[in-house]
Amino acid sequence: MAALTKVETGVFDPRRFKEVLSAEAWAAFSEALDRAEETFKGRTIWNVNSTGKGGGVAEMLYSLLAYAMGAGVDARWRVIEGNPEFFRITKRVHNHLHGSPGDGGRLGPEEHAVYLDALEPNAEALAKLVRPRDIVILHDPQTAGLVAPMKEVADFVVWRCHVGLDVPNDIARNAWDFLDEHVDRADAHVFSRKEFVWLGLAPEKTVIIPPSIDAFSPKNQELERPSVEGILAASGLVEGGDPGLATFVRAGGQPGLVRRPADLVDGGAALAADARIVTQVSRWDRLKDPLGVMLGFADHIAPRTDAHLVLAGPAVEAISDDPEGAEVLEEVRAAHSRMPPDVRARILLAALPMDDSEENAAIVNALQRRSDVVVQKSIAEGFGLTVAEGMWKARPVVASRIGGIQDQIVDGVSGVLVSDPGALAEYGAAVTGLLLDPRRAESMGFEAMNRVRTEFLGPRHLLQYLELLSKLMQKATAS
Ligand code: UDP
């Protein structure tokens, strides 16, 4: 049985970033590009995670690796295989790392044995590919158990954790206990923010690298208004556009056309062409609080504005490492179906087609660009790429004051932070305030775009990896 899936990322020209970076940022990045190929000569950088599509990690890897390849660095991506029990346990670990009990199950020795058993064939398959001079970057809890086997075959092994909790609780510490004997053996640990660093890990091996978005991907590329309207018409979300104009540029540069409609779960119809729209895009995950977004909208936004809510996420059968998706979507659908008809009609539950991930991305792009307010009302969040995505599109974003969201939004300047994710009235007031004050919303959107330009684009991220890996290699040469 094949234990690894290869994900092709293509090769993108990193020099295109000259268009969007400041002169100073471009100078630093282009200098790094000049030396990247030489720095990694004779080495392959393997990235290993648990899904090739859906979610923030896959989103980032796709672009970062393609730009690395464009810079002459041999960067490759493999996805591990696991059985349903493995993914149930790793989802539990993921939830625990966010401080939440998830399905309430244990993380004990039996679970640990299931976890390691499932990883074994993956370790064997990787050992056949990885050569001694290579670098292996393992992403998230699903791959932590591969640190030791990879240390046996590669020069350097980095563990990159994309999740965390601002103030760790016992539940999170339970997940650390489950994994730290593995993580501890890596040459470096990368976290998205300093608050997420696990107690007990060697500080000299720990590095903070916040995530980033790709300004040119189908998800974030500039779209002209007819394309935005065309895409939203083709996907059945908003009326008025010409589906013939539902165009975007694929990652490889070829023209793309959105053809597949979204599935409007629990019924409903495309919104009117002039509808004002509040949107949250996320996986169907309780930590994204889709129920709170919907109930807060019904109680605190709908009565005071004419806006509609679009709650969008992936078609659930598509995400193999997220076994709870279908369950959560069903909970949201059931709550929606119990709402009074007038409010229900103002809320669309959209499961976006995932057959073609670039088409899916173009729909998300158009939806975010068309939104008057973008929301990310998560209960826990490692970073929240959807926040940066909304900000890059000059949208005012209302999001919870948690995790990496706090590093992105400067409250009141480049978005609004809602202090208590449980307080639906506060979230409702923030969204309503922006809907009623379009000038404030516009200036916030402008600030937001500039903040992403300086802090959260790929070049900053790639530079930090270059620095980390160069240091590891220098240290090894010196010792
Ligand atoms: N996403 C998507 N299609 C969907 C739902 C989500 O492309 O139907 C993307 C979203 O745009 C973002 C990523 O999945 O790029 C989610 O990343 P985030 O960091 O917000 O959350 P995660 O899923 O990693 O917890």
Indicate whether 310 pLDDT > 90: yes
Average pLDDT of 345-372?
97
The pick from 49, 51, 59, 311 for probing ligand 1's pocket by mutation, whose C-beta has the most ligand atoms within 8 angstroms, reads 59
Q: What is the mean pLDDT of the chain?
A: 95
Indicate whether 322 pLDDT > 80: no
pTM of structure: 0.93
> Does one domain contain both 469 and 414?
no
Nearest-atom number in ligand 1 for the CA of 368 is 11
> Does one domain contain both 386 and 467?
no
Would 242 be classed as within a structural domain? Answer: yes
Indicate whether 96 pLDDT > 80: yes
Would 120 be classed as within a structural domain? Answer: yes
Indicate whether 192 pLDDT > 90: yes
Would 217 be classed as within a structural domain? Answer: no
pLDDT of residue 321: 63
C-alpha to C-alpha distance for 162 and 151, rounded to whole angstroms = 21
> Does one domain contain both 320 and 310?
yes
> Does one domain contain both 319 and 203?
no
pLDDT of residue 40: 97
CA of residue 58 to ligand 1 center, whole Å: 9
> Does one domain contain both 237 and 188?
no
Q: What is the CB < 6 Å shell around ligand 1? A: 55-56, 59, 219, 281-283, 312-314, 352, 360-361, 364, 383-386, 389
Annotate 210-232 with DSSP letters as a single string: ---B-TTSTTTS---HHHHHHHH
Would 158 be classed as within a structural domain? Answer: yes
Q: Write out pLDDT tens, residues 149-177.
A: 999 999 999 999 999 999 999 999 999 99
Q: Write out pLDDT tens, residues 418-465.
A: 998 788 999 999 999 999 999 999 999 999 999 999 999 999 999 999
Residue 129's domain is classified under what CATH number?
3.40.50.2000
Would 474 be classed as within a structural domain? Answer: yes
| Total number of domains constituting the chain | 2
Indicate whether 2 pLDDT > 70: no
- Structural domain of residue 422, as residue ranges? 225-455
Indicate whether 317 pLDDT > 90: no
Average pLDDT of 32-56?
94
Would 173 be classed as within a structural domain? Answer: yes
Q: Write out pLDDT tens, residues 199-236.
A: 999 999 999 999 999 999 999 999 999 999 999 999 99
> Does one domain contain both 463 and 358?
no
Token pair listed for 206: 């720990």
pLDDT of residue 167: 93
Alpha carbon 25 to its chain centroid, in Å, reads 24
Q: Which of 405, 421, 399 is nearest to 456 (CA)?
A: 405
pLDDT of residue 283: 92
> Does one domain contain both 195 and 241?
no
pLDDT of residue 252: 87
pLDDT of residue 478: 86
Indicate whether 148 pLDDT > 70: yes
